Structure 1
């Protein structure tokens, strides 16, 4: 993912609301969200180049979502795929503390990343640019390609949109997709300087990115209500025709 917006224990009906966009090269081989054949308890999209994921949940309610940390001057070659962190967490039956320990001990092996992980009752955040796992308090959060809640325009706008949406009476999945579809480019004076140049900063600044060979490939909405009923909807934009993958299930052993 390149934008993850989420409300954690901040809504009267849903203890977790996640609205996210995945930005990627259009030609990178990908499977849309599905129950995995090799891991039948995992629901999410799959990156067919490295066999990892960027956003997934399992039937026990373990959830993980990942973004890259944008730092073009510190890219390492021949390192493990960051998407393996998502699948590794979902396949691991141990508690979140052991995964946090794994991240602390092994996080530097990977290129820069952020990961949200846990379940609807306890969520954690870790970045290998920060090095310390954090247990999140209830609230509204935004994550792009810097640290959690970094004041990038897309993060600030997305959090504002999510706050407004869940505060009103018209909260819906379709309204969530609508605000994720915002392709307005941020003003130059508000852009971060991540070392990719001003033209690319502009191109990467919207919530929804449109470019020749790179952009927002899918949007995902995840809802977990107070009765542990899960709604997972992924809307794909590549190829050109929009398609939805929609799933509903109840968490096991809750």
Structure 2
């Protein structure tokens, strides 16, 4: 029995880590590997992508720190796809947010233990960009981290900050790190130029050998509050995520063999 953990984090704001985490978890499940997504960001964006009603505050932030079972935090949508939302704090509790997030990080490994008891699973974690206890939990527990880069001008200064901050922390904790380009547009030269810059700036082993194409179906699925693969199964981006899921499955098998 084994549970793999994949962290997904944006290098620059708006790079699409939440979209990647949701679409990847669904693609893995569609490929025959039961997978869950978990949201550790306070934006709670995965809720929209799984069709969770906006007025439903349930999730990790609402959990009982003493008696929580992970199933109490899960939400299953109409397609039978389950995920773990971050949820929302009660009005007036924002002043205690940092302490609450630290408490979640301290208890998360225990809460997730039931996943280890039900066989092979993959947990895809939408990871905060900011340093903190939850980001640190991912770096300590993930088998690998996908750092998502959008090929647009803001990536250039963000990459330096990422290398000095998040990437250094990943290296310090010996997490296996990769960079995934999300939103490549074949007809826009600028996106190719920035992708080429990444190839020069990063080691060949760090940059993933595949990219996610820019696809209008992605924001449409988000607006419809549906998983991408269910909203547009024939879309190019859906095929890209299926290819990413296959690549990651092979990579995780290789990691397990080494362990």
Same fold (TM over 0.5): no
TM range (shorter): 0.3 to 0.5
TM-score by length of 2: 0.34
- Flag the structure with more relative contact order, 1 or 2, with Cα contacts below 8 A and sequence separation at least 6: 2
